[in-house]
Amino acid sequence: MAAADSLLGMIRAYGRIAYDSFVLLKRKITHMSELNSHSRRWFLSSIIPAAVALELSPAAAAQDHSRRAEEESSSHQGKGTADWMRKARWGVMTHYLADWIAKDTGEEMTVARWNDLVAHFDVEGLADQIKSTGAGYHLISIGQNSGYYLSPNATYDRIVGIQPSKCSKRDLVADLYDAHRRRGIKLMVYLPSGAPAGDAAAVKALGWQAGAYRNNEFQLKWEKVIREWSERWGNKVSGWWFDGCYWPNAMYRMSAPNFASFAAAARAGNQESLVAFNPGMFRRIFSMSPYEDYTAGEIDLPAEVTLNHAEDGIVDGAQLHILSHLGERWGMGLPRFSTDQVVAWCRKLKDQGGVFTWDTPVSADGHISQAFIDQLKAIGHDNGAA
């Protein structure tokens, strides 16, 4: 056994999985003299791959995943990283979704058309518009139900196996960051917590079941997809808003994958990134998990919001935040409220230390119509913008 023991240190450099698996492998080898009769090169080319190929038991793998997620996320809690959001007071959201654009224009969506739309999205024009309103941040959708996304992701493509890829060639998030950074605007991203419901092939490949199911296989895959985006963008993305966390007890309040591993994937590229998990539309604003930094706060009628146990802008440890839409529907329609109403709701929330995000329709080329710009400018003026 001494030969094997002397070589354990050699494979530590090959990672935790190789090392832990080799410990298991060592126990299985009865004639350890074999290790002395082969070269170091044979060992590296044969034993290490075999060790890596050995799988830990499902329980051990889940335990290790949970431990790493806890380590990555627990150190993030309580650092007050939502301070910048509170100082911003309010921001703008835009849904830029392939199926919504197809419905609005009456034209079928294809990969070629999606790439053309994303390629011609006017990031400088939109950044100028948002800057003119005085908003402190911009929240944009990466994708939703159609399976089309506005940023490339090799992990997603590999998992779903759809070719040509429905992820755009242009990384619109990265380009938006460049435009916003020069104007002092932070960028956040929206993503559903489930598979794209309108893409049957993706749903099947990801292993997603809609409803109160564990969805263990899906969540592990989805976290890998999220991690790729997060690691590529790094500190370009300051926050994530995850939609559709409707079954927290079935999916996230247990051993990993869970809220901790979910948040860790989103923060993989930026440990200071904010995270919120949306439980759906509730008039009472509450925090879903200790692993989120601000409340998702989805609301249809701002006048009916109820704030219980909110103290100085904090709800159960999370920054108080509300998200609603200015248009008649999410991302669509004409203004549904008067400017005075919109300004008053923002002021009321600000006085309680809260933050308001307004979803605003955006055109296919990336512009906000003047009617909404006027309302947003009024909010900005009330918050001290010139």
Per-residue model confidence as pLDDT tens digits over 358-371: 999 999 999 999 99
Give the pairing type, strands 137-141 and 90-94: parallel
Question: pLDDT by residue (tens digit) across 267-313?
Answer: 999 999 999 999 999 999 999 999 999 999 999 999 999 988 899 99
Tell me the two tokens of residue 176: 């938006």
Which residue in 60, 44, 55 sits closest to 7, CA to CA?
A: 44
Rounded to the nearest 10 degrees, what angle do helices 123-133 and 370-382 cross at?
40
Please state whether 280 falls in left (phi above 0), alpha (psi between -120 and 50) or beta: left
All domains of the chain in start order, with CATH: 2-55 (no CATH), 81-382 (3.20.20.80)
Question: pLDDT by residue (tens digit) across 199-232?
Answer: 999 999 999 999 999 999 999 999 999 999 999 9
Cα separation, 289 vs 65, in Å, equals 19
Higher local confidence (pLDDT), 163 or 4: 163
Q: Read off the pTM.
A: 0.83
Least confident of 12-26, 167-181, 310-324: 12-26
DSSP 327-376: EEETTEEEE-S-HHHHHHHHHHHHHTT-EEEEE----TTS---HHHHHHH
* Residues above pLDDT 90, as percent of the chain: 77
Residue type, 106: G
Cα separation, 353 vs 347, in Å, equals 10
Cα separation, 385 vs 135, in Å, equals 9
Question: pLDDT by residue (tens digit) across 38-70?
Answer: 343 333 344 334 443 434 444 455 555 555 555
